[in-house]
Chains A and B, each alone.
Chain A
Amino acid sequence: MPAVSKGDGMRGLAVFISDIRNCKSKEAEIKRINKELANIRSKFKGDRALDGYSKKKYVCKLLFIFLLGHDIDFGHMEAVNLLSSNRYTEKQIGYLFISVLVNSNSELIRLINNAIKNDLASRNPTFMGLALHCIANVGSREMAEAFAGEIPRILVAGDTMDSVKQSAALCLLRLYRTSPDLVPMGDWTSRVVHLLNDQHLGVVTAATSLITTLAQKNPEEFKTSVSLAVSRLSRIVTSASTDLQDYTYYFVPAPWLSVKLLRLLQCYPPPDPAVRGRLTECLEAILNKAQEPPKSKKVQHSNAKNAVLFEAISLVIHHDSEPNLLVRACNQLGQFLQHRETNLRYLALESMCTLASSEFSHEAVKTHIETVINALKTERDVSVRQRAVDLLYAMCDRSNAQQIVAEMLSYLETADYSIREEIVLKVAILAEKYAVDYTWYVDTILNLIRIAGDYVSEEVWYRVIQIVINRDDVQGYAAKTVFEALQASACHENLVKVGGYILGEFGNLIAGDPRSSPLTQFHLLHSKFHLCSVPTRALLLSTYIKFVNLFPEVKGTIQDVLRSDSQLKNADVELQQRAVEYLRLSTVASTDILATVLEEMPPFPERESSILAKLKKKKGPSTVTDLEEAKRERSADVNGGPEPAPASTSAVSTPSPSADLLGLGAAPPAPAGPPPSSGGLLVDVFSDSPSAAAPLAPGSEDNFARFVCKNNGVLFENQLLQIGLKSEFRQNLGRMFIFYGNKTSTQFLNFTPTLICSDDLQANILGPTKPVDPAVDGGAQVQQAVNIECVSDFTEAPVLNIQFRYGGTFQNVSVKLPITLNKFFQPTEMASQDFFQRWKQLSNPQQEVQSIFKAKHPMDTEVTKAKIIGFGSALLEEVDPNPANFVGAGIIHTRTAQIGCLLRLEPNLQAQMYRLTLRTSRETVSQRLCELLSEQF
């Protein structure tokens, strides 16, 4: 590249810059700049054409002023003029100005592009280089639009100089990164791959970068690069060859190229055996070299060598197919664990984390446990300690879990604040996952709360309680341990929560011991009461009422506490309500009722550990999950976790001493147990979604009945999902729109609604359903249309089963779809005479069905009328001699037949009874319609 010759130095510019530097104040500087700008303006305005030199000088000055932070709004034209100069320095300044100051100014862009095109077309390599650099530096979309087609041509042209090729490759890379859609893939791609064999190091390195980026998006197009890269790598790495021996950097041959090639190979799966052999050879050579004594003491040497080594190790990990190499890599990293260099230790720990998840090297990683634990204790750099924690977590399995958990716990006392929460989560997960003995688990978690109570999140203690409740064998021990732990003079609030909950459930298991008599337990808990926050106090109040059930002998004491002003008149509405209701409950309810209401919690349904979900959230989705999945597979058989709880609708049945209790009187009509409104405290534990086996969703039967007489409305609703219906029926055809509304803010995945019909039902109704999108965004609503045809009459209703994944858990909801026979009613109007004529025609005893039933709702004439019309039949006025009676008529359409129906409803106000008589031409129809309609009144 031609250097700026001495005679070419611009004196005026130097003077100007030194003037500016000598300015004493900002004002002086601005004055000097204004003066210079005026001068340049008058020069540019002047009629005399400026020569190239002065143009260059002024453009330089403008550039300098711009870089000082002042606006420049002229001179662009002069800069563009410089582009067409033939002198290198002038062209260079022109390009510099443009790459710094260019904006999407329409007129100038055209001129600039033109100049760049000219330079690209010229045969002068320096000019081409300047143009390519300018394109890359600007790197805008406009540039990409104009030149993305041109550059690949230059890149693969046979006669292009090496330096230009290099620039072209990098320029293309830059354009691809800014606007990948504008770079066309074409036949040039295959030729680019062959640049990997180029003799010029710069070209190969640039091309490798380009290919790596392109291959990540279009792996198929660049598949051939794998074998080329491997052969190139082997030529560099293996000692026998002499490829690029000129480019050794501190005795390491072409380290940058090696690293890039290794990274390129990481875009692809392990190659076919022939190539693989060679690759393995290369990787072994690299690992071998790492063992050799360093050829130089310089840090550059070891940096270069280690860079190649680490990249090779990541390739080995990526392939994950050569046990031999994996183990060697692991051993190599093990050596680095004790290296002087902090960075090396960090990298080694990080790579080992990924190695630990590979089945081949897991054992090898485990051999370094002592070193890692040591690193955790002695390392000065907190980021390295963090990595060490990660690695310990990754290498943990059943065999070393006790040791690792113990080490982490002991480290926790001195750990850096920034990583404490994460360590707490990890300890909690490991303790749960690898617990052989649940007493150990309980001990560990209590220890955890004791050591780092502030960092123990809600999820952790929820989990302890779930596990204790689900396992009978540990309950007594847990109660005892918690009781002992609570005796410490100062204990963390989380411990009080756990203690309160567990003693409330299982306090009776240790009540036999005089040291932990019921009264002692109560006094112990109550001594902590005043130090706790409101949610904890609420929990403790629940514990007290549970004590009332468990130990009748302390009832009086507890009632006194509940009755005290600080509870009954507490400013917090939640506490007050609990106190009032519990007090009432304890005085009013009999022992039997108390025992039922305050029964021991049923086991929790098994689901993904919420702690794990939290850890994932902390880490960002990708990193931990892979590792987690891998570990899960391995450990699945090791420890199935607690047995899956028997499917039950625990959410509904468990906690609330609700309806019948409240019927007893005094208490306000809010659920007295942990009400769903009480915020996050207990809800997480109690309110699981309807359980896995999904019998019909609670309340759906109710809804079903409502839909007999109407076509639109909300069919089902819980915390997550709302299902709405809109339907229309004509003769024997119907169309139903089902709306699924996501009530949460997160996406539902694998959302699959299916219609389940018993076999004969299938034959009788139903047309096709259209599938819905499997992902439902938070807050979104999707719609599904169902076409229905009534083939013949039927009695059962189809069931809509919906399965989806919400957060980590699988949800399953079933509802009866209100497609009933009466939907295919067609009303018929007829006069009194006609009606009775037909009524008599249908006098066959099988054709008539009569039912007498008590009214479930108030007997309102208008409502009844509306219901009969909603049912589908016509309401015939003035037919029956008794005006209080209702008479209806209609025809039910099926594909095969039409069935006439007549109905008569006679209310008896005194007895609050109805008599419903139906006469149809088919017995089954009469039966079914009578069932449906009698439900309505």
Chain B
Amino acid sequence: MIGGLFIYNHKGEVLISRVYRDDIGRNAVDAFRVNVIHARQQVRSPVTNIARTSFFHVKRSNIWLAAVTKQNVNAAMVFEFLYKMCDVMAAYFGKISEENIKNNFVLIYELLDEILDFGYPQNSETGALKTFITQQGIKSQHQTKEEQSQITSQVTGQIGWRREGIKYRRNELFLDVLESVNLLMSPQGQVLSAHVSGRVVMKSYLSGMPECKFGMNDKIVIEKQGKGTADETSKSGKQSIAIHDCTFHQCVRLSKFDSERSISFIPPDGEFELMRYRTTKDIILPFRVIPLVREVGHTKLEVKVVIKSNFKPSLLAQKIEVRIPTPLNTSGVQVICMKGKAKYKTSENAIVWKIKRMAGMKESQISAEIELLPTNDKKKWARPPISMNFEVPFAPSGLKVRYLKVFEPKLNYSDHDVIKWVRYIGRSGIYETRC
């Protein structure tokens, strides 16, 4: 189990230090600082073992969160807890920065007391926490004795993530499908590896204890239904997607998913992540990058890069950025591009080409002349891949939300009364093309 938890700033100064078990001493704080933070990126593994003590760390901007233990713990559990902890802190005071942590340290200690008990993770659901840890930004509601007792029963009860008696005038819910698409492509346009990792995030403002059912174009479900009518199978066969693996929020009834593959749940109030998934097949690649690099003698390099958008012309991609790495001995760069702006960024050793918007089925190109300085090193330039960033308004995995049904047996509103919003956002993960 977790023996202690420390938060450091970028210099390695301790901002928060909470020790849960006796086997972790104060010197563990220094050990992590000296061996990991001050090692200046020499340590890249998130798990470090120093003197039979394990340090699990995550980094948020310039802040280091480290969980320490001397025992043989489940590393995945520790990281899950650390991520959860980040979410909780973000929900309480926004961005995790040195300043925010310093301003909220009382709150953080209070949270730590609540979500980690003798090193065992406890209920870390923001919605639940906010009912009884009320500091600063969180309005302290006037709590009656009944409400207080309700907190206990809720936190210890079966549905720990939602309290009873929530009432909204307008029952509304928002569903976001957020995906990031990763790609590695050869210069000839061959896909070397590609996958999409996606999340379904839900924001619910629903009264009572609603029972929800979520449906999407999961291949297995579609095929099961389609057994009756072969006709439908052939029609929707293309549209269904094969989900490689997925995880759910704790509110989802896993037994039902296992038996019927239907996703039913009582949602927490407010924002939460309903599920996470990954697909590897039939990915729609929104952009194609065609590089052309020519070495002219020892001191010159000509680069031409064409990008083609590959989706419906009616859709618009945004925030497009192409990053073309330059050799380490570049002494000067001239760039010409048809669209957007391009610049040689010396501090990053790359040409960065930005386009604000681009419609589907279009193409654009950039050409650059790179002057090189002759060097002593006989090492050839490694030619790192060209990477790309963008945002598109569809799911590259092909995922579609088929329905989200809400049933509330006690209160008198039905599925039709709930206002539902669905949005798809596809972003680039590591989207690279070799050149």
Interface residues of A (CB under 8 A from B): 24-26, 31-32, 34-35, 37-39, 41-42, 44-45, 73-74, 76, 105, 108
Contacts and interface: CB of A to CB of B under 8 A. Distances in A.
A73 B348 contact: no
Given A24-B10, A26-B40, A74-B329, A45 B346 contact: no
A74 B376 contact: yes
Contacts of A74: 329, 373-376
Q: Give the residue among A26, A41, A108 with the most B Cβ atoms within 10 A.
A: A41
A34 B346 contact: yes
A181 B376 CA distance: 31
Nearest to B374: A74
B331 A45 contact: yes
Given A38-B347, A41-B331, A45-B373, 4 more contacts: A24-B62, A34-B347, A34-B348, A38-B346
B329 A41 contact: yes
Given A24-B62, A25-B10, A45 B371 contact: yes
A26 B346 contact: no
A488 B330 CA distance: 84
B376 A41 contact: no
A73 B377 contact: yes
Q: Give the residue among B10, B41, B347, B379 with the most A Cβ atoms within 10 A.
A: B347
A41 B348 contact: no
A39 to B, nearest CB: 7
A44 B10 contact: no
Given A31-B347, A34-B348, A34-B349, A41 B41 contact: no
Contact of A38 (B40, B349, B375): B349
Q: Is the interface of B mostly helix, strand, loop or mixed?
A: loop
Contacts of B374: 74
Contacts of A24: 10, 62
Contacts of B41: 26
A28 to B, nearest CB: 9
B396 to A, nearest CB: 29
A105 B347 contact: no
Contacts of B10: 24-25
Contacts of B377: 73
A35 to B, nearest CB: 4
B62 A73 contact: no
Given A24-B62, A25-B62, A73-B329, A41 B347 contact: no
B332 A45 contact: yes
Contact of A76 (B40, B328, B329, B376): B376
Interface in B211-255: none
Nearest to B349: A34
A345 B357 CA distance: 83
Interface in B289-331: 328-331
A75 to B, nearest CB: 9
B378 to A, nearest CB: 10
| Interface bracket on B | 20 to 34
B346 to A, nearest CB: 3
A25 B59 CA distance: 13
Contacts of A31: 347-348
Interface in B165-188: none
B330 A41 contact: yes
Given A26-B41, A45-B371, A35 B329 contact: no
Contacts of B332: 42, 45
Contacts of A37: 328, 346
Contact of A44 (B328, B346, B373, B379): B373
Contacts of B331: 38, 41-42, 44-45
Contacts of A105: 376
Q: Give the residue among A39, A42, A105 with the most B Cβ atoms within 10 A.
A: A42
A73 to B, nearest CB: 4
Interface string B364-378: 000000010111110
A258 to B, nearest CB: 45
A73 B376 contact: yes
Nearest to A32: B347
A41 B373 contact: yes
9 contacts: A24-B10, A25-B10, A37-B328, A37-B346, A38-B331, A41-B330, A45-B371, A74-B329, A105-B376
A694 B331 CA distance: 84
Contacts of B348: 31, 34
Contacts of A45: 331-332, 371, 373
Contacts of A108: 376
A76 B375 CA distance: 9
B347 A73 contact: no
A76 B346 CA distance: 21
Q: Give the residue among A35, A38, A45 with the most B Cβ atoms within 10 A.
A: A38
Contacts of B376: 73-74, 76, 105, 108
Contacts of B375: 73-74
A38 B329 CA distance: 8
A108 B330 CA distance: 22
A25 B61 CA distance: 10
Interface string B61-85: 0100000000000000000000000
Contacts of B379: 73
B348 to A, nearest CB: 7
Contact of B346 (A25, A35, A73): A35
B297 to A, nearest CB: 14
A517 to B, nearest CB: 56
A92 B288 CA distance: 54
Contacts of B349: 34, 38
A34 B326 CA distance: 12
B156 to A, nearest CB: 43
B347 to A, nearest CB: 4
A31 B328 CA distance: 13
B233 to A, nearest CB: 52
A728 to B, nearest CB: 60
Interface in B24-81: 40-41, 62
A31 B350 CA distance: 11
Nearest to A107: B376
A68 to B, nearest CB: 10
Contacts of B330: 38, 41
A74 B375 CA distance: 5
A25 B348 CA distance: 15
A26 B38 CA distance: 10
Contact of A35 (B328, B347, B371): B347
B245 to A, nearest CB: 32
A26 B40 CA distance: 6
A515 to B, nearest CB: 55
A919 to B, nearest CB: 87
A73 B331 CA distance: 13
B29 to A, nearest CB: 20
A343 to B, nearest CB: 32
A74 to B, nearest CB: 5
A32 B330 CA distance: 16
Nearest to A103: B376
A26 B376 CA distance: 27
A395 B50 CA distance: 49
A37 B348 CA distance: 11
Q: Give the residue among B40, B328, B377 with the most A Cβ atoms within 10 A.
A: B328
Nearest to B371: A45
Contacts of B40: 26
A802 B379 CA distance: 61
Contacts of B373: 41, 44-45, 74
A169 B353 CA distance: 61
A26 B329 CA distance: 21
A35 B330 CA distance: 11
B384 to A, nearest CB: 14
A35 B343 CA distance: 14
A404 B258 CA distance: 85
A128 B349 CA distance: 42
Contacts of A76: 376
Contacts of A35: 346-347
The 9 closest A-B pairs by CB, nearest first: A38-B346, A45-B331, A31-B347, A73-B377, A35-B347, A41-B331, A73-B375, A35-B346, A74-B375
